[in-house]
A and B are shown apart, each in its own frame.
Chain A
């Protein structure tokens, strides 16, 4: 089934985002592992795998709509040198994509592509869970201080 070009463009834009954050999160997870923050390593790695699953779903949808999935496009990766900066960079990535997915849902509703709308909505909900977790980490850092927070992350 041939999809609307505007939807296909959005699907590929979100695919580039998902592939980019997989790299960003995997690097952050590895840095946490090297520093001995086992809990953070596991949590961030889990998020990276969820983003990879989003990429898989976006590709499947592009193929269904007879588009060409572009897997080679990546956006700039923002690596944080400290845990706090990692969380802040990841927060920015999530915030930007939540806005984008909301726009995508509106576009799909407007042109009547409900299959793509459902997909965007389901990913959007998971991205909201991601940003919620990051915000909780930033709140904990603010409330208990970075050192106390990090003690909790060594597992």
Chain B
């Protein structure tokens, strides 16, 4: 890691911009999330549902979690498909928060009631 990015490694500001190698390491832990490298770096994942209604219900689940953590993803809805995008605007790219939210969303998806 580039130590210039950190003031105090033990208490690093967690919305700091991740380096490329950090991003790659974290990306390995969140299956099916992809990296969009053009523009502001973003991670995204496409979810498929049985109905439009189910799709929107899942967005509402995510919205609840996003509100409590004050970290809000972007959504693109196309009938039964949902693309969720995560980035940290204050860091102008990806931070640890994005990967934690990705994990949270995956867990919500696993435990949801269709």
Contacts and interface: CB of A to CB of B under 8 A. Distances in A.
A and B: partners?
yes
Interface of A: 1, 19, 22-23, 26, 45, 48-49, 52-53, 55-57, 59-61, 63-64, 66, 68-72, 74, 115-116, 118-119, 122
Nearest to A74: B107
A130 B11 CA distance: 20
Contact of B26 (A69, A115, A122): A69
A64 B25 CA distance: 12
Interface residues of B, number: 29
B10 to A, nearest CB: 5
Contacts of A22: 104
B25 A63 contact: yes
Contacts of A71: 26, 29-30, 99-100, 102-103
A116 B8 CA distance: 11
B84 to A, nearest CB: 16
Interface of B: 1, 3, 6, 9-12, 14, 16, 18, 22, 25-26, 28-31, 65, 68-69, 96-97, 99-100, 102-104, 106-107
A63 B18 contact: yes
Contact of A56 (B6, B96, B102): B96
A57 B16 CA distance: 11
Contacts of A56: 14, 96-97, 100
B22 A63 contact: yes
Contacts of B11: 57, 118-119, 122
B70 to A, nearest CB: 9
A61 B9 contact: yes
